[in-house]
Amino acid sequence: MTVTTGSFMAYGKKWQRPEKKKNHIRAMIAPYCCMDGINEKGLAAAILEIKAKSTKQKTGKKPIITPIAIRAILDKCKNVEEALELLKQYDMRDPLAVNYHYHFADADGNSALIEYVDNKMHIIRQTHRDENQVLTNFFLTEGGDNRREMGRDRYQRIGEKLCECNNHMPEESAMELLGNCTLNYRHKYLRHMVITVWSSVYNLTKKTMKMCAGMDYDTMYEFSLDEPGTVKKIK
C-alpha cells in the first residue's frame, strides 16, 4: 500500500484528461513512483525532500532512484534491518535536482533514518526502543548542506508534542499534529503555492493507513492491507 505523487509521473493539471493515451501510460507507472507506504509485514517507509545537491553515487554498484528504492523495500523487506541492507546494495541516484532522506519503521518498534551527505550513506538509529525519530526538510547528519533548510520549526513542534505524550499518541491525534505542521507558502521564484499534498498515519501492527489529502483535515480516509481495494471514509 503506497502513496504516489503526480510530479514523478509528469501528471498534473496540464495532463488530467484520462482519455489521453499518455495519461494511461503515466497511470501504469504509478506503482513505481512511491513516496511512502506500508507492506504486509508492517514495514513503513517515507521520504522527505531536502533543498540540497542531489545524491549521485558512483561506486560501481547497480544504480537505483528514490521511488524505485521505496518500491523495492516494500516489496522485498520485512523490517528496518532488511531495508537498510537493501539500500546498501545500490548506488542511490536522486531523480530530481534535490536531495532525499528516508525514514523506516517496522511493527517490532524499530526505526532508522537514512541520509546521503556528499554521496555517502549515513544511518541514524534509535539509541533506545522508545526514542522518537523525526524528519522534516533538513539534514540531521553533521556536515549536511542546510543552507536552504526548511521545517526546523515543524521538527521542534513535533518533537515537543511527542515528548509531552511520552511518544504514545492516538492516530487521530497524530493526524491533528500533522495538520498543524503543514506547508503553505508561495514559491520564492516560481510563484506558485507550495502546500502539503497529503498526510498519512500508519498503524504498523494493524497494517492500516489513515490519510488526509489536499490539506483537508476535516475529511479522513482509511486503507487496510487486510481489505485491499476498500476505502473507508472516517470523517
Rounded distance between C-alpha atoms, residue 113 and residue 235, angstroms = 32
pLDDT at residue 212, as a whole number: 95
- The pLDDT confidence band at residue 221, using thresholds 50, 70 and 90, is very high
Cell digits of residue 193: 503555492
pLDDT exceeds 60 at position 10:
no
Question: If you average pLDDT over every residue of the chain, what do you get?
Answer: 89
- The pLDDT confidence band at residue 190, using thresholds 50, 70 and 90, is low
pLDDT at residue 17, as a whole number: 61
Tens of pLDDT along 74-131? Answer: 999 999 999 999 999 999 999 888 999 999 999 999 999 999 999 999 999 998 877 8
CATH assignment at residue 160: 3.60.60.10
Three-state SS for 220?
coil
pLDDT exceeds 70 at position 232:
yes
Pairing of β 111-117 and β 44-50: unpaired
What is the domain extent for residue 159?
Answer: 2-233
Contacts of 128 (CB under 8 A, 6+ apart): none
The total number of structural domains in the chain stands at 1
Phi, psi of 130 (to 5 degrees): -90, 5
Tens of pLDDT along 193-220? Answer: 677 889 999 999 999 999 999 899 999 9
pLDDT at residue 5, as a whole number: 57
